[in-house]
Structure 1
Amino acid sequence: MSPVRSTALPLTLAVVAAGALAGMVFSTAPTDAPPLTLTAGGNGASVAFTEYEAETATTNGNRIGPDYTQGSLASEASGRQAITLFGQGKYVEFTLTKPANSIVVRYSVPDGSQGTVSVLVNGAKVRDLAVTSKYSYLTAPWIAGAKEHHFYDESRALLGRDVQAGDKVRVQLDAGNVGTATIDLADFEQVAGAAAQPANSVSVTNYGATPNDGGDDANAFVNTINAAKSQGREVWVPPGTFDIGRGLAIDQVTIRGAGNWHSVLHSNNPFLNNGQVQGNIRLHDFAVLGEVTQRVDTSPDNAYHGPLGNGSVISGLWMQHLKCGIWTMNGTTSNAVIENNRFLDLAADGLNFNGRVTDSVVRNNFLRNTGDDSLAMWSLGADVRDSFVNNTIVQPNLANGIAIYGGTDISVRGNLIRDTNALGGGIAISNQAFVYDGSFSPLGGTTTVAQNTLVRTGAINPNWGHPMSAIRFDSYDFPITSPVTVTDNRFVDSPYSALQFVSGSGTGKPITGVTVDGASVEGVGTVVLQVEAPGSGRFTGVVASRVGTRGFYNCVYPSNAGTFAINRGSGNSGWDSQWTDCGTWPPRNAGDTPTTTTTTPPQSGNVARGKPVSSSSQVGGYPSTATTDGNADSYWESANNAFPQTLTVDLGSATAVKRLVLKLPPAAAWGARTQTVSVSGSNDGTGFGQVVGATGYRFDPASGNQVTVPVTVNQRYLRLTFTGNTGWPAGQLSEFEAYTS
């Protein structure tokens, strides 16, 4: 729940910067990038599991991506690629490199659906794994530039047996499973058995808590906490699921579970401190699994909400399906340690030090699929001498991997950040206050950003109309004048730029005192250095390869705000050239970096316009002929509740087609929906061969209600086969356009 983002540059800048980017989507990952091998520094967290990407596994499903387009299924996948399974017998099969007895699957199913997928080991089914869209497809209309997001979720299970290295674990669709699922990745872990109750502890079951019965155990927990504190003992949470129906105020107590796979608190907010506490709060080794299905910023739907006092520790927790994992506010926190936790599938931030946090460290945590900044410091009341160290962050689908909003002597070291999405980048060092009550503490002392690895980080900001880079320095509300040292960071396959200096309010506040010393830039889509604010910076040992367009862009906004001095030390290479046209934004290079395709087709060249078209069915008033008449307001609709359905256009002769543009009526009354469509071709109208496998395409009125499908086909007949629609139980299309370029 980071502060609401109304970030928007003045319209004049947005229009100028967006000129070369208007109507572009980015659909291809760098083709000549070397395999990523991590070295000392920037390795992120040490975790107990091994992650296997679906796109590198054995499969008979359909690959989607790579894609960097806001609001697309592929763009929110780890690695920007995933595998879509449609129909019985489709699978993804992982060959294990280490023993395991558990599985976590990151998946997406169509909105409104739930069910199971099958899990097989060496060909024998061992269990069904529950999947649901319940916690996905979030909207945040109060955040400027946000679209529907959070398409993926994760499901975990013990396999009931040990699986050895070399064994094959298959995720498959069988009879009785869901009809469609997109598999992003799977984690495999050898989970230890449940820990035994410590001798110095009091069990919650002694005071009336009953696991797995669905009853509210809050009172039993309160009584156990009081008893444990009076006796100088710990609170013990044995294996099982305990329901906590309200937030519990805690102070000077240790609560310990049998392991985060075994002891579960089922609650949206089990721990709630609304005022100052003394501290020494110790939370260890259990899971907090919530039921948060939408983001409500006025509700404390967090695993832990409130101050931690002095000397508290949160370690070994699994936090999932909440708004935030940990949000500190309403008091002071000092000397806290947050370590070895998993933050998964959250509607907003993973963790936010919301002011008045000092000398505290967040280290060795794993965060994936947050709905806002994964790790944030928001200095409402000074954050001082705090650090984020050796954490792994994957796919924050809104905002940044790590965001530092003010604070004094802050450190960001050794983190691994991958695949950021809209409205953010990898690391933000910012003086954006968000609120104006006088409590914000701008950056002071020395801010340290060192030995981090950033992979495919950065995104287009839809409010600005131009990129946010892998590391961004933003003098939004206050100049940045205190020292910021940026040392030995690694940038891999940044979709846009590596380093950015910007005054996000468009007021041209300066940025000075930034020193970049040692940076390995291994692939950028546009420029290495993106300067849009006045000031200066010193750059030494910045080595770049596979640079997309030019080495740097230096166009201060507003133009009368001053200049930015790029002071070069020794050891720089690969980024000497400059993009000099400040009236257009450097376009993405189509060679070493993701390519671009035009989403708005030319008015001429649609070879399907006016051609004969037929369908497997249609309902009255919505004929198939509406799809080639050039009128986007008229549309075809198939018979309802009767998938699959087909739509076939006859081009008259074999035609080399490079892309299809599929449209729905642009009216806002058409709610966003995902249709699952495959493409096939034929020269005789009877024998059709697959061109594009079944893929979920998102139609959204906010972006014109159209999608572009790249194809390579030379056929007379083109056929679309519709097998799903999250907005209506039928195939729907207003225009079926085909282009030869």
Structure 2
Amino acid sequence: MVTAATVGLSGALGGTAFAGAGDAAAPVVTRAALDPSLVTGRGANVDFAEQEAENARTNGTVIGPDRTPYTLPSEASGRKAVKLTPGQYVEFTLPGRANALTVRYSIPDAPQGGGITAPLDVSVNGAKRKAMTLTSQYAWLYNQYPFSNDPNADLLHPDWWITECSCVPNATTPAPTITKPFRPSHFYDEQRLLLGRTYHAGDKVRLTVPAGSNAAWTVVDLLDSQLVGAPHVVPGAANVLAFGADPFGRRDSAAAFDKAIAVAKRARLKVYVPPGTYQVNRHIVVDDVTIEGAGNWYTIIKGHEVALGSPAPDGSVHTGVGFYGRDASAGGSHNVHLSGFTIEGDVRERVDTDQVNGVGGAMSDSTIDGLYVHHTKVGMWFDGPMTNLRVTNNVIADQIADGLNFHTGVTNSVVAGNFLRNTGDDGLAMWSEKTADARNTFDHNTVQTPVLANGVAIYGGADNTVSGNLIADPIREGSAIHAGSRFGAEAFTGRLSIADNTTVRSGTYDLNWKIGLGAVWFYALEKSIDADIEVVGDHFLDSTYNAIMFVSDWPVKDRYSITNVHFKDLRIDGTGTSVVSARAAGSASFQNVVARNVGAVGVNNCGSFNFPSTGSEFTLTDLGGNSGGGTTGPWLAPWELPNTITCDDHPPVVAPPAPSAW
């Protein structure tokens, strides 16, 4: 059988403009490891330039491409990176003025888990500027869901069928003997650095692992460079320093924040948090207040994860830094405005009951803008009912679980212009548990390298929109865009719009089902999906397996179906297998869907696996304008319509070429 590892041999970068490793006469700027011209108008409008290490000058070793889970290149942006040993370097040429860098990297775990620290020297034009201290204390998870920090642990659930999440029913057959460490993942972290002065286009930034480093290797994935403006000042505000906050982080400033908030609310002032690092080890409860920092490079609110003496009523066994609205059952919070600061957490393990998120609770009629949220469990988790929240222009990185989740009755809200990288679960999610999320929009966000699950996931709900996003490199147990009837979600009703998104290097291999998924996939596990679903104007690039997939799980395959899905004006450039894989009963229509570099039969139609003489239980309708294909001819051939059984449970995989201009 051809595996995901085979598909990983395809080129990870698109276009002839890309230089190889060691050939760095000019900087190679990418977006999601692609030529930016391929994703114009898609994703977040960020203020940094992304440069992949494999395109820079190095005396190290380029690793990858590889899309096999549990490997260092598979979790790298673009599925390639550069591996350095002590004494080796990677050197980037700045594409523009910059005074700040972000380095995405990986170093080994400690033999018994828990991480190590190791140095990395940063020089510009040959002169040493800074010494960074890298850490793997927030990386390296192992084993079965919800994972372990111990590389030597036995199976967490020895009676389970080997699986990554509780979404797959347990099996009665005990798991086989495992090789330790079992299923290592979540290798990467990132660190930011202010250089202390401004450098110019053409200047050389070299990252060197010093001789004698205690890290046997250091993997550099990419460098983001940017020009950070001067600190923002808010005159006439309630300044937290006036209430005893410590900007050097030596003592806890939570009480000072509470006092500043109380005074600001009475006097109708904003709260201002000047440059500094402030230690906060618990939730700051916010309601009817505006809190502004000096900018997320300057104002850092950082806390330890604190074990509770006894579990909280919500099941938490830890607390930590976070800004929380009041619980929806207490009326929630309103008129909260947070901007211009970093929330730096200390979460190193996944405990699903813990409320150790960067931002949480219920916040109606509120805004969150320009935050950097790092090392929390979930960057932002909102428990409704709540309405009218705008989340814009934030960076969420290195989370143990989701990047952002609208959970239970979030309505009329927008998430736009945000950049998310290295989440441990869904990047962006709407989860309509108990009460439907409705009339929300995820628009023009960038989601890169979610280690587990999906880039964008919609679990039930009504009249929601996913538009203009750029989603790259989902690693395992999910894909780029997912609509699922699962996790106890309310049914899909009204309309779901999936419009003008670009996905790249998605359509992953599902380790539970042992099949390839789609860049966009629909899953009817607990209910039929029969809302009006429109997938329009999307670009699915370099899909590891399929571009589009429909699934109902085997125990419910004759109960639930997926219908009323309409695809229009799509560009599909490269699939390892098919354009459409149907593994459910239902129907879909296709209009102006243009495909090229399709690796297998255009439509892999298994239906519900009953194989009746009347054809598949899944019907495709050709509305015209569909063209292109690959190794087996036109992707939507007349003989496949409307419901020809073309089922191949494990079709051969043909690695597609790198995406290129259409």
TM-score category (smaller protein): 0.7 to 0.9
- Describe the superposition over 1:600-649 as per-residue Cα deviations: whole angstroms up to 9, x where unpaired: xxxxxxxxxxxxxxxxxxxxxxxxxxxxxxxxxxxxxxxxxxxxxxxxxx
Q: Distance in 2 between the 1:69 and 1:145 partners?
A: 16
How far is 1:86 from its partner?
0.9
**Residue-pair matches, total:** 566
CA contact (8 A) 2:608 2:617 kept: no
Does 2:128 align with 1:125?
A: yes
Q: Distance in 1 between the 2:609 and 2:490 partners?
A: 26
**Structure 2 residue aligned with 1:190:** 227
Q: Distance in 1 between the 2:3 and 2:397 partners?
A: 34
Does 2:595 align with 1:544?
A: yes
How far is 1:522 from its partner?
0.6
Q: Distance in 2 between the 1:76 and 1:189 partners?
A: 24
- Describe the superposition over 1:241-264 as per-residue Cα deviations: whole angstroms up to 9, x where unpaired: 111121122111111100000001
**Structure 2 residue aligned with 1:294:** 349
| 3-state SS of paired residue (1:470) | strand
CA contact (8 A) 1:238 1:258 kept: yes
**Structure 2 residue aligned with 1:569:** 623
**Structure 1 residue aligned with 2:447:** 393
| 3-state SS of paired residue (1:474) | strand
Q: 1:360 aligns with which of 390, 404, 413?
A: 413
Q: Distance in 1 between the 2:271 and 2:12 partners?
A: 54
**Structure 1 residue aligned with 2:548:** 499
| 3-state SS of paired residue (2:202) | coil
**Structure 2 residue aligned with 1:346:** 399
Q: Distance in 2 between the 1:55 and 1:555 partners?
A: 40
Aligned pairs (5 A) from 1:422-461: 422-432=476-486, 434-435=487-488, 440-461=489-510
CA contact (8 A) 2:12 2:65 kept: no
CA contact (8 A) 2:575 2:656 kept: no
Does 2:61 align with 1:58?
A: no
Does 2:586 align with 1:535?
A: yes
- Describe the superposition over 1:60-86 as per-residue Cα deviations: whole angstroms up to 9, x where unpaired: 110110001011110000000000001
**Structure 2 residue aligned with 1:703:** none
**Structure 1 residue aligned with 2:203:** 167
| 3-state SS of paired residue (1:248) | strand
**Structure 1 residue aligned with 2:138:** 135
Judged with a 3 Å threshold, the aligned counterparts in structure 2 of structure 1 residues 494 and 37 are, in CA distance, closer, same or farther, namely: same
Q: Distance in 2 between the 1:591 and 1:359 partners?
A: 40
Does 2:340 align with 1:285?
A: yes
**Structure 1 residue aligned with 2:285:** 249
CA contact (8 A) 1:32 1:592 kept: no
| 3-state SS of paired residue (1:302) | coil
TM-score, normalised to structure 1's length?
0.74
How far is 1:468 from its partner?
1.5
CA contact (8 A) 2:69 2:475 kept: yes
**Structure 1 residue aligned with 2:654:** 589
| 3-state SS of paired residue (1:500) | strand
Q: Distance in 2 between the 1:184 and 1:240 partners?
A: 29
How far is 1:276 from its partner?
2.8
Q: Distance in 1 between the 2:457 and 2:359 partners?
A: 20
- Describe the superposition over 1:13-61 as per-residue Cα deviations: whole angstroms up to 9, x where unpaired: xxxxxxx457965431248954645467752000111010001111111
How far is 1:505 from its partner?
5.6
Q: 1:314 aligns with which of 361, 368, 373?
A: 368
CA contact (8 A) 1:403 1:429 kept: yes
CA contact (8 A) 1:269 1:305 kept: no
CA contact (8 A) 2:603 2:646 kept: no
How far is 1:180 from its partner?
1.7
How far is 1:583 from its partner?
5.4
CA contact (8 A) 1:456 1:492 kept: yes
- Describe the superposition over 1:467-513 as per-residue Cα deviations: whole angstroms up to 9, x where unpaired: 12100011121111110000010011111110011114641211111
- Describe the superposition over 1:184-205 as per-residue Cα deviations: whole angstroms up to 9, x where unpaired: 0000010112112332x10111
Judged with a 3 Å threshold, the aligned counterparts in structure 2 of structure 1 residues 518 and 591 are, in CA distance, closer, same or farther, namely: closer
Q: Distance in 1 between the 2:40 and 2:225 partners?
A: 25
Which has the higher mean CA deviation after the structures are superposed, 561-570 or 403-412?
A: 561-570
Identical counterparts, % of pairs: 40
**Structure 1 residue aligned with 2:632:** none
| 3-state SS of paired residue (2:54) | helix
Q: Distance in 1 between the 2:14 and 2:264 partners?
A: 56
| 3-state SS of paired residue (1:137) | coil
Q: Distance in 1 between the 2:120 and 2:13 partners?
A: 35
**Structure 1 residue aligned with 2:381:** 327
How far is 1:151 from its partner?
0.3
Does 2:349 align with 1:269?
A: no
| 3-state SS of paired residue (1:409) | strand
Judged with a 3 Å threshold, the aligned counterparts in structure 2 of structure 1 residues 301 and 220 are, in CA distance, closer, same or farther, namely: same
Q: Distance in 1 between the 2:4 and 2:44 partners?
A: 38
Judged with a 3 Å threshold, the aligned counterparts in structure 2 of structure 1 residues 576 and 23 are, in CA distance, closer, same or farther, namely: closer
- Describe the superposition over 1:554-603 as per-residue Cα deviations: whole angstroms up to 9, x where unpaired: 00134279611110121111213669663541121157489xxxxxxxxx
Does 2:224 align with 1:212?
A: no
| 3-state SS of paired residue (1:165) | coil
CA contact (8 A) 2:13 2:78 kept: no
| 3-state SS of paired residue (1:424) | coil
How far is 1:131 from its partner?
0.5
Q: Distance in 2 between the 1:259 and 1:71 partners?
A: 36
Does 2:144 align with 1:145?
A: no
Q: 2:258 aligns with which of 201, 204, 222?
A: 222
Aligned pairs (5 A) from 1:31-110: 34=15, 36-38=35-37, 43-88=42-87, 90-110=88-108
Which has the higher mean CA deviation after the structures are superposed, 283-292 or 174-183?
A: 174-183
Q: Distance in 2 between the 1:54 and 1:23 partners?
A: 23
- Describe the superposition over 1:391-444 as per-residue Cα deviations: whole angstroms up to 9, x where unpaired: 001100100000000010000000000111100000001111x13xxxx32111
**Structure 1 residue aligned with 2:8:** 27
Give the root-mean-square deviation of aligned CA atoms: 2.0
Aligned pairs (5 A) from 1:611-650: none
How far is 1:295 from its partner?
1.1
Task: Report the residue type matching 2:391 in the other structure.
Answer: I
Q: Distance in 1 between the 2:132 and 2:321 partners?
A: 26
Q: Distance in 1 between the 2:7 and 2:536 partners?
A: 30
Q: Distance in 2 between the 1:61 and 1:523 partners?
A: 30
**Structure 2 residue aligned with 1:477:** 526
| 3-state SS of paired residue (1:559) | coil
TM superposition outliers: structure 1 runs of 4+ over 6 Å: none
Q: Distance in 1 between the 2:41 and 2:651 partners?
A: 29
Q: Distance in 2 between the 1:223 and 1:190 partners?
A: 34
| 3-state SS of paired residue (1:223) | helix
CA contact (8 A) 2:108 2:216 kept: no
**Structure 2 residue aligned with 1:235:** 271
Judged with a 3 Å threshold, the aligned counterparts in structure 2 of structure 1 residues 37 and 207 are, in CA distance, closer, same or farther, namely: closer
List gaps (5 residues or longer) in structure 1.
1-19, 595-741
Task: Report the residue type matching 2:109 in the other structure.
Answer: D
List gaps (5 residues or longer) in structure 2.
17-34, 111-115, 147-161, 165-182, 304-319, 630-634
Task: Report the residue type matching 1:123 in the other structure.
Answer: G
Which has the higher mean CA deviation after the structures are superposed, 353-362 or 112-121?
A: 112-121
Judged with a 3 Å threshold, the aligned counterparts in structure 2 of structure 1 residues 431 and 519 are, in CA distance, closer, same or farther, namely: same
Does 2:340 align with 1:304?
A: no
Task: Report the residue type matching 1:269 in the other structure.
Answer: V
Does 2:190 align with 1:154?
A: yes
Judged with a 3 Å threshold, the aligned counterparts in structure 2 of structure 1 residues 24 and 141 are, in CA distance, closer, same or farther, namely: same
Q: Distance in 2 between the 1:31 and 1:547 partners?
A: 17
